[in-house]
């Protein structure tokens, strides 16, 4: 025994949730606020307030075409992503799903949770039989762009007027990834 403390191990987890406790919801709302303030990938430009976020996440859990995945660091929710399936009346695009509203709170970045979160959404989409996963990001989100491109997402387009942030119009980048072995989209 050297008298030195063992380094703490971090517990990373991503799970699909269909319900949340009040504590989980509070932690997720706090993480969302932090990500919004930092400018990270959720659509809101300014935090909408706790009640609006709670209503939002409770609503997501009720939508049949959406699956909510929550990323946790040491048992505390620090981010989320949504797998969005096409509506039933969209038979022409029934082979493709979308990864949306993916974020990790700034204080929890650098642990590999964004990659793990993306993989879990991909695995869920693949298990449901989807052949393609689509996503889009603001051009200013360099870390997200690097992540998705390193994971094999193909950049297929740029929207010149994708969003307004801080009084500026920013471009958006659109990606897709083929999910099924031997799958093709052409």
CATH classification at residue 109: 3.40.630.30
Count the domains in the chain.
1
Express each pLDDT in 10-39 by its tens digit: 899 999 999 999 999 999 999 999 999 998
* Residue 117 to residue 161: CA distance in whole angstroms: 28
* Residue 97 to residue 176: CA distance in whole angstroms: 10
164 found inside a domain: yes
1 found inside a domain: no
Express each pLDDT in 173-185 by its tens digit: 999 999 987 766 6
146 found inside a domain: yes
Give residue 9's pLDDT band: very low, low, confident or very high (50, 70, 90).
confident
25 found inside a domain: yes
Residue 97, H or E segment: strand 96-104
185 found inside a domain: no
Cβ neighbours around 63 below 10 Å, total: 12
Cβ neighbours around 157 below 10 Å, total: 10
Domain residues for the domain of 127 are 12-178
Express each pLDDT in 153-171 by its tens digit: 999 999 999 999 889 999 9
Give the closest residue to 80 by CA, choosing from 146, 152, 25.
25
């Amino acid at each position: 025994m050297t008298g030195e403390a063992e380094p703490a191990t971090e517990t990373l987890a991503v799970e699909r949730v269909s319900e949340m406790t009040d504590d989980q919801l509070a932690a997720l709302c706090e993480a969302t606020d932090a990500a919004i303030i930092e400018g990270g990938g959720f659509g809101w430009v300014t935090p909408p307030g706790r009640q609006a976020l709670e209503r939002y996440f409770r609503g997501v859990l009720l939508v049949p075409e959406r699956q909510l995945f929550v990323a946790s660091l040491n048992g505390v929710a620090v981010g989320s992503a949504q797998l969005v399936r096409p509506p039933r009346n969209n038979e022409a695009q029934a082979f493709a799903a979308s990864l949306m509203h993916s974020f990790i709170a700034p204080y929890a970045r650098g642990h590999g949770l964004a990659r793990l979160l993306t993989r879990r959404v991909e695995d869920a989409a693949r298990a449901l039989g989807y052949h393609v996963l689509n996503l889009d990001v603001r051009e200013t989100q360099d870390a997200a762009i690097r992540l998705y491109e390193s994971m094999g997402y193909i950049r297929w387009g740029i929207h010149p007027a994708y969003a307004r942030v801080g009084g500026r119009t920013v471009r958006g980048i659109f990606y897709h990834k083929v999910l099924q072995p031997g799958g093709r989209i052409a």
